[in-house]
């Protein structure tokens, strides 16, 4: 799905109080999104759940697309805090597969929220400073770090991008067409083995 232009940029929280409100909004959106999905969730209900004025919500998130892309960026940032580096003797490609399988499991625990985040991310411009851009960068960096590539080549980054795209497609199919989780995980592992075998330090 092509990304659409933003109506206006989101405000960024700066003070501790603003950051706390921002986090409350993200938590409320995740809760409401998991229960109702993107189409049925209401911005006013999210504002009430977060204990903020509706104007405050719209200041940070001009639309549901902005909001649920930010929710996904926040969840990816939490994933970054977990180490998926290959264990001694473990194939780094298998470590990447473990990373993507774990990310899939976390997303698929709340399918309505996962759909809301992925639909919103698809419709958001991926500029470097935007939540969608941060998601792309964070996943790329996670995979590169898990592979143990200190200085990835352009070829490495192209392979990583293909792995990301394959994972995203598998996850989308699992959500929208009811592909069995075991089959989705097997597909993810196969994609990693096929695509990353030619990395520069293999």
**How would you write the pLDDT of the chain (202 residues) with one tens digit per residue?**
334 334 556 777 778 888 899 999 999 999 999 999 999 999 999 999 999 999 999 999 999 999 999 999 998 888 777 666 667 778 999 999 999 999 999 888 899 999 999 999 988 877 777 788 888 888 899 999 999 888 999 999 999 999 999 999 999 988 887 778 899 999 999 999 999 988 866 6
Domains and CATH numbers, the chain: 11-62 (1.10.10.60), 64-196 (1.10.357.10)
pLDDT at 180: 84
Angle at 87 between CA 84 and CA 90, to 5 degrees: 105
How far apart are the C-alpha atoms of 70 and 74, rounded to whole Å?
Answer: 6
**C-alpha distance across the termini of the chain, in Å:** 33
How far apart are the C-alpha atoms of 101 and 187, rounded to whole Å?
Answer: 10
SS3 101: helix
pLDDT at 1: 36
Q: Convert 38-49 to b/e letters by CB count within 10 Å (16 or more is b).
A: beebebebbbee
pLDDT at 45: 97
Give CA separation, 77 vs 73, 142, 148, in Å.
6, 10, 19
Q: Which of 5, 65, 54, 3 is nearest to 25 (CA)?
A: 54
pLDDT at 175: 86
Give CA separation, 74 vs 132, 189, 197, in Å.
11, 25, 31
How far apart are the C-alpha atoms of 1 and 102, rounded to whole Å?
Answer: 25
Query: Does the pTM exceed 0.95?
Result: no
CB 189 within 8 A of CB 97: yes
């Amino acid at each position: 799905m092509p990304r659409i232009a933003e109506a206006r940029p989101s405000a960024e929280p700066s003070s501790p109080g603003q950051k706390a409100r921002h986090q409350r909004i993200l938590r409320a959106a995740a809760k409401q999104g998991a229960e109702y999905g993107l189409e049925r969730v209401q911005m006013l209900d999210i504002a009430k759940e977060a204990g903020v004025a509706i104007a405050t919500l719209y200041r940070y998130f001009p639309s549901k697309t902005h909001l649920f892309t930010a929710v996904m960026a926040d969840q990816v940032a939490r994933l970054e805090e977990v180490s998926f580096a290959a264990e001694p003797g473990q194939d780094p490609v298998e470590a990447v597969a473990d990373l993507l399988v774990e990310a899939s499991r976390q997303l698929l625990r709340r399918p309505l929220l996962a759909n809301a985040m992925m639909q919103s991310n698809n419709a958001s411009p991926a500029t470097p400073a935007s939540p969608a851009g941060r998601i792309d960068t964070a996943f790329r960096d996670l995979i590169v770090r898990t592979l143990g590539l200190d200085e990835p080549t352009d070829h490495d980054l192209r392979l990583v991008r293909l792995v990301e795209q394959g994972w995203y497609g598998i996850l989308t199919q699992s959500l929208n067409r009811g592909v069995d989780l075991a089959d989705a995980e097997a597909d993810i592992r196969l994609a990693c083995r096929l695509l990353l075998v030619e990395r520069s330090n293999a």
